[in-house]
Amino acid sequence: MTTSQKYFTERIHPVTKLAIIVDALLAEGASARAALRGAQISEEDLRSPVTRISINQTLDIYRNAISITKDPFFGYHTGLKVHLSAYGLYGFAILSSRNFRQTFNFAIKYHDLADPLVSIAYDETDRLGIWSVIPLENPSIESSLYRFIVELQFGIHISLHRDVMGSGFGINSACFTYKHPQLAKSYPNEFGCPVTFSQQRNQITFEKHWLDDVPEYGNERSYALTLKMCDELLAELQSTRGFNGQVRRILMTNLGRNMNASSVASRLETTPRTLRRRLRDQGLTFRQILDELRAEVGSRYLRDTDMSIEDIAHALGFSDAANFRHAFRRWTNNSPQQFRESQARRSRIVKP
């Protein structure tokens, strides 16, 4: 079993968000049995605060939603229904933060408490704030599921911004890594802004003037108390999930920056020697985890986007396209071009 397979089967994540998705399906007229098919979880489990599920169980329900719903933007629309109250201590800490940049820093650091399927990153230009959404990579995540995960998170991001900044919050633009879907022309109307596809990052932007206001419910004492409890929860989660999961998430968020063991160790506040020892205790190496991620992400870029080989190499942190081609052949026994052509042929075969 690979590191990603182990990570995807551990039952350590809360069930709150899945309950919202199932409720949205029930509102469409679907049965709970259909919504939960194959996930090995009952409707009673879905309502229990002590239930813990794996990423694979989450993906099973996401796939059910894709097959059941009649709404082509179900993921995005459901994300807009998710509010801070669904996130327990994580949500309360965001709500009690005293300024929005503090809120953003908290959201990034503690995002494991909210969603194990994506990492998030924040950046700014002179005028815009930029959120990036980086889904976890795994060969089992097909194109439609990847799109669902990204659009769900975009909806959640917008909803949570409105919870803390006001209902008038809106975004300036949205871009996606995947190719134009069938309903591409409907995206600007749904998102209320220009939308582009086949980009290197999944991103939404907004005007920075939203950061100038003071959070309405900010409270320094409440924030400090919830921050301490979130530290304890995060430490427990990361301990349960395993050290390799922490390494994997850091690499995934910074894949294009060619991070080495020393830079990852620094992020984990440990030494490279300790990092390698702890991975070795789990039968793993740093290079193994990095290669798995690069192979998974590179394969998806080749399959689902029109990015050039050079751009993919850059996005994966390679110094040039030649090094990427050599590594990809070592991982898959195919050149990037051969892989892309075989995936295109397969796509044409399965189309009705």
Q: From the CB of residue 223, how many other CB atoms can be counted at a distance below 10 Å?
A: 21
Between residues 238 and 15, which one has the greater pLDDT?
15
Q: Which residue has the higher pLDDT, 146 or 11?
A: 146
* CB-based contact 297:316 (threshold 8 Å): yes
**One domain, residues 52 and 96:** no
> Do 226 and 324 belong together in one domain?
no
Q: How many CB atoms sit inside 10 A of residue 282's CB?
A: 12
pLDDT tens string 64-83: 999 999 999 999 999 999 99
Residues 99, 226 within the same domain? yes
Examine the pLDDT at 6 and tell me if it is beyond 80: no
| Tens-digit pLDDT profile for residues 155-166 | 999 999 999 999
Is there a single domain that holds both residue 293 and residue 329? yes
The bridge status of strand 173-175 relative to strand 202-207 is antiparallel
Q: What is the average per-residue pLDDT within 118-147?
A: 89
Amino acid at 133: V
Helices 286-304 and 143-165, axial angle in degrees (round to 10): 100
| pLDDT tens-place string over residues 208-225 | 999 988 887 778 888 887
Residues 82 and 24 in one domain: no
Does one domain contain both 236 and 119? Answer: yes
Same domain assignment for residues 95 and 209: yes
Question: Distance of CA 225 to CAs 30, 102, 229, 231, Å?
Answer: 41, 15, 7, 10
Residue whose tokens read 């929005």 = 100
Same domain, 237 and 251: no
54 with 82, same domain: the answer is no
- 196 strand-pairing partners: 175
Question: Do residues 81 and 37 both lie within one domain?
Answer: no
Instruction: State how many domains the chain has.
Output: 3
Which one of 70, 92, 125 terminates a domain?
Answer: 70
Q: What integer pLDDT is reported at residue 350 of this predicted model?
A: 46
Residues linked to residue 124 through DSSP beta bridges, in sequence order:
129
First to last CA, the chain: 34
**What pLDDT score does 77 carry?**
97
| Residue 242: predicted pLDDT | 67
Average pLDDT over residues 31-43: 93
pTM: 0.74
Report which of residues 41 and 241 the model is more confident about.
41
pLDDT recorded at residue 128? 96
Same structural domain for residues 250 and 310?
A: yes
Taking only the tens place, the pLDDT of each residue in 276-310 is 998 888 788 999 888 888 888 888 788 877 788 98
Q: In whole angstroms, what separates CA 256 from the centre of its chain?
A: 16
Mean per-residue pLDDT for 14-35?
92
Residue 296, domain extent: 244-350
Q: How many CA atoms lie within 13 A of 191 on its CB side?
A: 29
| b/e sequence 53-77, b meaning 16+ C-beta within 10 Å | bbbbbbbbbbbbbbebbeeebbbbb
User: Could you tell me where the beta strands, DSSP code E, fall in the chain?
Assistant: 13-14, 52-53, 118-124, 128-135, 173-175, 195-196, 202-207
pLDDT, average across residues 258-269: 86
HSE, side-chain direction, 13 A CA sphere, residue 241: 26
Residue 174 has φ and ψ, to the nearest 5°, of -140, 140
Q: What is the mean pLDDT of the chain?
A: 86
Confirm if 147 and 181 have CB atoms less than 8 A apart.
yes
209 φ, ψ (degrees, to nearest 5): -60, -20
Q: Are residues 209 and 104 in the same domain?
A: yes
C-alpha radius of gyration, the chain, whole number: 20
What is the CB neighbour count within 10 angstroms for residue 212?
8
Task: Quote the pLDDT of residue 130.
Answer: 97
The predicted pLDDT at position 125 comes to: 94
- Render the burial of 301-328: b for 16+ CB within 10 Å, e for the rest: bbbbbebebeebbbbbbbeebeebbebb
Nearest to 261 by CA among 239, 283, 282, 279: 279
CATH number of the domain bearing residue 293: 1.10.10.60
- Between residues 334 and 237, the one the model is more confident about: 334
Predicted confidence (pLDDT) per residue in 83-119, tens digit? 988 887 788 888 888 888 888 988 888 887 787 788 8
Per-residue pLDDT of 42-61, as tens digits, reads: 989 888 877 888 888 999 99
Please say which residue of 190, 213, 241 terminates a domain.
241
Where a domain ends, among 14, 48, 70?
70
